[in-house]
Amino acid sequence: MRTEEEARAPDGAGTPPVRRGAHTIRWVMLALGAGLVLAVAVLASRLGKDATYVPSPLVGKRAPAFTFTKLDGTAVTNADLAGKPYVVNFWASWCVPCRTEHGALRAFWERYRDRGVTLLGVLYEDSPERGRQFQQDLGGDWPLIRENRQAVVDFGVRGPPETYVVDGQGLIVAKFTGPASLPKLEAAVDAALR
């Protein structure tokens, strides 16, 4: 007498039926595993590297010419700053990383302003009123600059905060994407002062 399983199988085929899709599932799982290994390898290759470093075609080249308008209405141009290093920081009051870096910028300004280094805080998609309030709340008195869309394009700014260090010859010597730290700013400006 035949068992119930044998009765369900086609005549003469006493073997269990092969499940359809079992091979497909194996290939999908292998592909997902390979993708995961590749992702981990890519991420691991960035270990120990500066997360704020984004290559810029401007580093080593002349800073774009600009005419900025300070919040007090006076103008400042790159020609006014010739011969001394300066820092251009694109920021916004709504930007959380900008709030994070503000303390470093304040400490930097306190240490370098008397050495002839200028720090310019250029608003990025923000209003002068909010910029003033931000600086009042967090401290600092470096010049704040009205939004300047042409400078955003010329410097290649993608989003705040982005900071450029320019030496006395007018060459961009460093760019920081994301919150700039005090040690990195100091190292870049000290090199520009030599």
pLDDT tens across 128-159, in order?
A: 999 999 999 998 899 999 999 999 999 989 98
Q: Which amino acid is at 75?
A: A
Structure confidence by residue, pLDDT tens digits, 57-113: 678 789 999 999 999 999 999 999 999 999 999 999 999 999 999 999 999 999 999
Residue 49 reports pLDDT greater than 90:
no
* Residue 180, helix vs strand vs coil: coil
pTM for the whole structure: 0.71
Beta carbons within 8 Å of 191's beta carbon, 6+ residues apart: 173
- 167 and 78 in contact (C-beta within 8 Å)? no
Q: Hey, what are 9's tokens?
A: 């199988």
| 104-105-110 Cα angle (round to 5) | 100
- What's the CA gap between 131 and 94, in Å, rounded? 9
* Residue 162, helix vs strand vs coil: strand
Q: Hey, what are 84's tokens?
A: 């001394």
